[in-house]
């Protein structure tokens, strides 16, 4: 939500005597989505102080805020502990937010453990794990996970393919890069985007095949 809209929304929110959990969550989520991380955390703390019990969407919003700030990883782990305390499971959106948090912060073992324990996994969760593996020098595992994704009938999106091409680039695998590049349109009907071409140029450059 744009800053002006956020200010107006906050004024209206502060005017309410007893906002319900839906309003608390909407405000916290809005701040997190807008990158106003401190405001999101501050409002979350205020909510707890006022005795309002968070729900799964509230916790997911707070966790997403920590994903964007790698230095906030320890705080993110504390939020994870709270989700356990409140009895929340690993269903979407909490499971997705947690696995994304751990994967993007480089803690792939815990991220993978959470990922495997999730009863259902959406594209965002798959992409986070594939990206985390790729960025931490585990390209083969990233590509293997993408194959598992397809076997589970989870349809890859454009982010998935960017992550796969990035993994191929780090591995210096031109052959696999071309395979995924062609797969996008041939198997999934996705028109090539600028990002795809940029990734392929990077794949070829690293293999010294750009002429």
Could you tell me the two tokens for 45? Answer: 């703390």
Residue 211 has a pLDDT of: 61
Residue showing tokens 């992409």? 127
pLDDT value of position 153: 86
- pLDDT tens digits, residue range 14-32? 888 889 999 999 999 998 8
pLDDT of residue 69: 63
Q: What is the CATH number of domain 123-211?
A: 1.25.40
Tokens of 23: 């309003």
pLDDT of residue 81 exceeding 60? yes
- The C-alpha atoms of residue 133 and residue 38 are separated, in whole angstroms, by 29
Residue keyed to tokens 């062609």: 182
For residue range 134-178, what is the model confidence (pLDDT) as tens digits?
Answer: 988 899 999 999 999 999 988 899 999 999 999 999 898 999 999
Question: Do the Cβ atoms of 98 and 60 come closer than 8 Å?
Answer: no
Give per-residue burial for 169-200: e unless 16+ CB within 10 Å, then b. Answer: bbbebbebbeebbeebeeeeebeeeeebeebb
- Report domain extents, the chain: 123-211
pLDDT digits (tens, 9 = 90+) for 100-132: 888 888 889 999 999 999 998 988 889 989 998
The 10s digit of each residue's pLDDT in 33-59 is 888 888 888 999 999 999 999 999 999
pLDDT for the residue numbered 73: 79
Q: Residue 193 has what pLDDT? A: 84
Give the HSE-up count for residue 10: Cα atoms under 13 Å, Cβ half-sphere: 16
Q: Residue 67 to residues 24, 87, 108, 127, 156: CA-CA distances in angstroms?
A: 20, 22, 14, 14, 22
The reported pLDDT for the residue numbered 124 is: 86
Whole-number pLDDT of residue 210: 60
Rounded mean pLDDT of the chain?
87
CA distances for 34 relative to 5, 64, 65, 95, 198, angstroms: 11, 11, 9, 22, 27
């Amino acid at each position: 939500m744009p800053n002006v809209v956020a200010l107006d929304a906050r004024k209206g929110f502060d005017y309410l005597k007893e906002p319900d959990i839906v309003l608390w969550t909407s405000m916290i989520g809005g701040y997190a989505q807008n990158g106003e991380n401190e405001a999101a955390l501050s409002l979350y703390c205020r909510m707890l102080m006022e005795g309002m019990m968070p729900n799964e969407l509230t916790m997911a919003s707070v966790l997403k805020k920590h994903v964007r700030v790698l230095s906030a990883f320890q705080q993110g782990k504390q939020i994870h502990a709270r989700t356990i305390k409140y009895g929340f499971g690993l269903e979407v959106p909490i499971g997705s937010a947690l696995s994304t948090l751990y994967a993007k912060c480089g803690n792939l073992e815990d991220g993978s453990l959470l990922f495997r324990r999730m009863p259902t996994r959406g594209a965002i969760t798959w992409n986070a794990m594939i990206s985390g593996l790729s960025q931490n020098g585990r390209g083969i595992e990233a590509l293997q996970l993408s194959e598992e994704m397809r076997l589970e009938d989870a349809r890859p999106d454009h982010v998935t393919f960017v992550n796969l091409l990035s993994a191929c680039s780090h591995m210096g695998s031109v052959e696999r890069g071309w395979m995924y590049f062609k797969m996008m349109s041939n198997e999934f009907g996705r028109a090539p985007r600028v990002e795809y071409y940029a990734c392929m140029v990077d794949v070829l450059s690293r293999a010294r095949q750009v002429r």
